[in-house]
Structure 1
Amino acid sequence: MKFVFFRVLPVLLVGALLLLAATEYAVARPSRRTANVAYVPATDSAFSPERHLLDVYAPRAKATAPRPVVVFIHGGSWNSGNKNFYSFIGRRLAKQGVVAVVINYRLAPQVRVPQMADDCARAVLWTQTHIGEYGGDPQRIFLLGHSAGGGLAALLAADDALFRRWGQALNPVRGAVLDDPAGLDMYDYLKKMQYPGDAQYLVPFGPDPAVWRQVSPMYHLTAHTPPMQLFVGGQTYPSISSSSARFRQKLTELGHAPHYQVLPGKKHAPMVLQLYWQHNIIYQKLLALVNSPASPK
C-alpha cells in the first residue's frame, strides 16, 4: 500500500495510542488538564457536542510571564481520530513549559475538508481569546499536526482567509510544525487519480477541483507565511515524501528557510508515536521555534 490516503489510522496505531494514554495515569504529570471545553457555542447551528471540543494542558509550575502556546491537530485520513488519544502530547508539551491545546474537529462523511479547516480556525481563535486564562500568551500561538492534521496545520498557517471570515484581520498563527503531513497538495493528487481507491478521497474533499486547490496549503504560501518545520519519516508513504519535498522547495523559493528533516527508518505511525518521549527531536526543534527571540513576546 503506497499512499497514506488508502486507509484510516491503522489498528496497530490506535491500539498503541490507547496504551500510551492509559500509561499516562501511572506516571507523574506536572501538568493541569482542563478537558472538553467547547470552542464553538452550543447555540451555533453547526455545533457538534463531541467534535467541537478541546483540552488545555497547562504547566503546574508558576511562571513569571505568559507561556508559548501549541495547538495540536490530530490525523486520521480526514475521517477518524480523537483528541483523547493524544493526551501524552499535551502533557509532554506542558512538562516543557508550553501551554498545549489538543483539539477535535468534525470529520468525513459528516463534513468535508473546508469545514474541518474552519473548525480548526475557530479552535485557534478560541485559543487566542481564552488562553491567557491558562497562563498562555495569545501572541505566541503555534501549530503542531500529524498526517491529515499536518496538512490542516499548514493550511491554517498559510491561508489568512480562514481567520478573516471570522472577523480576525491578522492570522494569529506564528508558526507550524508538520509531522509527516498529508494533504499538502491534494489538487495535484486528486487530479491524477493514479491508484486504486483514490476515489474514496472525494468523500472528504468533494468533486470540485477548485475546492481541492482551496484546501491545499501549497497554493497559499507567500513570502509572509510564518515559519514552518517539516519532519518526514524515512519509510513513510511516497505521497508524503514527494509532497513535503515540493512544499519545502516552494517555501525556499519564496525566501524562507524551513527546517526540513527526514527521520531514518520511521514509518508513518511511529512519526506521531515518538512524541511520547519528551526529548524527541521534534520537541527539541519545536521548543526552539516557540522560544525563539524572533517570536513575538
Structure 2
Amino acid sequence: MKRFDMLTASERDAAYDNTAAVSNSARQLADFEDRSARLLTQVACQQDLRYGPKERQLFDYFPGKRDAPTLIFVHGGYWQMRHKNTFRFVVDGALKQGLNAALIGYTLAPQASLAQIVQEVRQGIAAVSAHAVKIGANRHVLVSGWSAGGHLAALCLGCEAVVAGLGASGIYDLAPIRMTYLNRALQLTEQDTDIYSPMALSAVEKPFVIAFGTQELPQLKSQSKAFSDYRLNLPGCLLPVSGADHFSILNDLADPHGALLPALLSA
C-alpha cells in the first residue's frame, strides 16, 4: 500500500469518503431514521435533556434496569455531519439486554473546534452519569461511538464514570484526516493531531472493543488494526464484523445478539 502522504489529493479524499464508497449509504441512513422514529413509539425515552447552553448540547436517556450501567452512544459524521436523533435505533439492543442507554449530541465543526467537541462530549458523559444517579440508576457508563464517535469514545475512556468503551469504525490517528477534504471544516493543526489522536496519547487501561466492518475502506480497517496494536496487552479486543460496511456495522450494535454488544459487556 502506498504511503498516505504519497497519494494524490483526490486519492486521499476517496480513502476516507465512506458515503461514496457505500453505494446504498443514503438508503441505509433513511432506514436508520425510520427505525429511530419507530423505537420512540415502543420504549420510554427522556428526550433532549440539556447538558449545556448550546443548541446541540442535548442527550436522550432511555431507562432500563436501575442497577445496570448506561450505554452511551456518540454519533459519527466526521465531527461535521449527522445528528444524534438519526441513531436512536442503535440502543435497542442495549435496552433488550437490560441496560440503560443514552445518546449525546454535540456542536459540529466548523461551529466548534475539535477541542470544543471533545470537551462537550466529556461534559455530556458526566451529565448522563449524574442523571442516572438522580433517577436511582447505576452511575457507571459504557461509552460507545461510531466513526468520528469512535474517536470521541476512545478519547473519553478516561472519564471517571466510564468503565469500558467501544469504537465502531473509529478514527484513532488524525494525521491522515489533516490531509483530506475533511480538514476544511475541522482546521486541524499538527499540534491538534498530537493532542487529540488516541494513538498519540498514553493508552487508558480500561477495556476497549475496536470493531470494524470487513467491507470498510482500507484506511478505516487500517485505523482499527493500528489502534489494536497500540493497545496490545490492554483489556478489550479487535473485532472484525463479517460482511459489514461503514454503515451496516451499526445494525450489529443494535442487535442484542450481535457481536458488538456482547463483546463490550464481556470486555
RMSD (Å) for aligned C-alpha atoms: 2.3
Following TM superposition, by how much is the alpha carbon of 1:257 offset from its aligned partner in structure 2, in angstroms? 4.0
Aligned counterparts of 1:153 and 1:217: Cα–Cα separation in 2: 10
Following TM superposition, by how much is the alpha carbon of 1:134 offset from its aligned partner in structure 2, in angstroms? 3.3
Aligned to 2:105: 104
Task: Tell me, yes or no, if the aligned pair for 1:58 and 1:134 is still in contact at 8 Å.
Answer: no
- For each residue in 1:4-41, what CA deviation from the matched residue of structure 2 results, as whole angstroms up to 9, or x when unmatched? 35659942232121122233366xx4x4211110011x
Following TM superposition, by how much is the alpha carbon of 1:178 offset from its aligned partner in structure 2, in angstroms? 0.9
Aligned counterparts of 1:248 and 1:235: Cα–Cα separation in 2: 18
Query: 1:43-54 to 2 correspondence within 5 Å?
Result: 47-49=53-55, 51-54=56-59
Following TM superposition, by how much is the alpha carbon of 1:284 offset from its aligned partner in structure 2, in angstroms? 1.7
Following TM superposition, by how much is the alpha carbon of 1:258 offset from its aligned partner in structure 2, in angstroms? 2.6
Following TM superposition, by how much is the alpha carbon of 1:3 offset from its aligned partner in structure 2, in angstroms? 2.6
Residue 279, structure 1, aligned to residue 242, structure 2? no
Task: Tell me, yes or no, if the aligned pair for 1:7 and 1:77 is still in contact at 8 Å.
Answer: no
TM-score of the superposed pair, with normalisation by structure 2:
0.85
Aligned to 1:44: none
Task: Structure 2: give runs of 5+ residues left out of the alignment.
Answer: 1-12
Aligned to 1:57: 62
- Cα distance change, pair 207–176 in 1 and its aligned pair in 2 (3 A): closer
Aligned to 1:152: 152
Task: Tell me, yes or no, if the aligned pair for 2:167 and 2:208 is still in contact at 8 Å.
Answer: yes
> What SS does the corresponding residue of 1:102 show, helix, strand or coil?
strand
Aligned counterparts of 2:188 and 2:196: Cα–Cα separation in 1: 13
Residue 247, structure 1, aligned to residue 222, structure 2? no
Following TM superposition, by how much is the alpha carbon of 1:271 offset from its aligned partner in structure 2, in angstroms? 0.8
Aligned to 2:182: 200
- Cα distance change, pair 180–130 in 1 and its aligned pair in 2 (3 A): same
Task: Structure 1: give runs of 5+ residues left out of the alignment.
Answer: 41-46, 164-170, 290-297
TM-score of the superposed pair, with normalisation by structure 1:
0.77
Matching residue's letter, 2:29: V
Identity of aligned residues (%): 22
Following TM superposition, by how much is the alpha carbon of 1:147 offset from its aligned partner in structure 2, in angstroms? 0.6
Query: 1:93-242 to 2 correspondence within 5 Å?
Result: 93-138=94-139, 140-158=140-158, 171-182=160-171, 184-187=172-175, 189-190=176-177, 193=179, 198-204=180-186, 206-222=187-203, 224-242=204-222
Aligned to 2:49: 37
Aligned residues: 252
Matching residue's letter, 2:63: A
